Amino acid sequence: SADIQSYLGGFPVSARPASALYRARMFVRRHRLGVSAALALLVALVGGISATVWQAGRAQREAQKAEQVKEYLVGIFMDADPERADVTGLTDRELLDRGAERVRYELDGQPEVQSELLLTIGQVYRNLGSYEEATPLVQEAMGLREDLFDTGSDPVAEARNELGWLQYLEGNWAEAEGTLREVVATRR
């Protein structure tokens, strides 16, 4: 009689060995709503903590990248310091050439920062009308980005877009059309 009452009430019965799993199963059966709510809260908590940790890591990487870019730019301006004897009469293009070389050797092992700066220097060369200097830098930046990211990612599309415009400006219209069509397809 006591076992029947226990069974109907969702409690363990004495006629069966009371293993931990059996007792837990009976507890969950008795308190379904509470256990479900606690489980949902636990899943939400773990998910929230995971997302926060991921975002913190991403923010830290972006902060490091920004710091490296800042240090690089400060170095470029130091290279242009008129107080230094070796920069007297340095042209914009010579300064860019030095900057591109510094990106390659100072930021070796940091491909994301390298690609960002190489692409930027390539864009400055394009704006100066030096397409032949810009193209290899943009291609190098695109190669670095293709190694880092999925080929359909926005960073790769950004570099590919710049390459397409350079091809167009150099008069390679067929190549430019193919490259820019890839960019449009990726961005869609």
Which tens digit of pLDDT belongs to each residue from 127-145?
Answer: 888 899 999 999 999 999 9
User: Do 142 and 164 meet the contact criterion of CB atoms below 8 Å apart?
Assistant: no
Virtual CA dihedral for 93, 99, 100, 102, nearest 10 degrees? 150
Which tens digit of pLDDT belongs to each residue from 76-122?
Answer: 666 555 555 455 556 777 778 888 888 888 878 888 888 888 898 89
Res 20 pLDDT > 60 = yes
Specify the pLDDT at position 11: 76
Residue ranges of alpha helices (H) inside the chain are: 2-9, 20-30, 32-79, 92-106, 111-127, 131-148, 154-169, 173-187
Task: Read off the pTM.
Answer: 0.61
Specify the pLDDT at position 79: 58
The token pair that represents 94 in the structure block: 């010579």
Specify the pLDDT at position 75: 67
Res 154 pLDDT > 50 = yes
Lowest mean pLDDT among 11-25, 57-71, 87-101: 87-101
User: Do 138 and 159 meet the contact criterion of CB atoms below 8 Å apart?
Assistant: yes
Specify the pLDDT at position 62: 80
Percent of the chain with pLDDT over 70: 90
* Radius of gyration for the alpha carbons in the chain, expressed in angstroms and rounded: 31
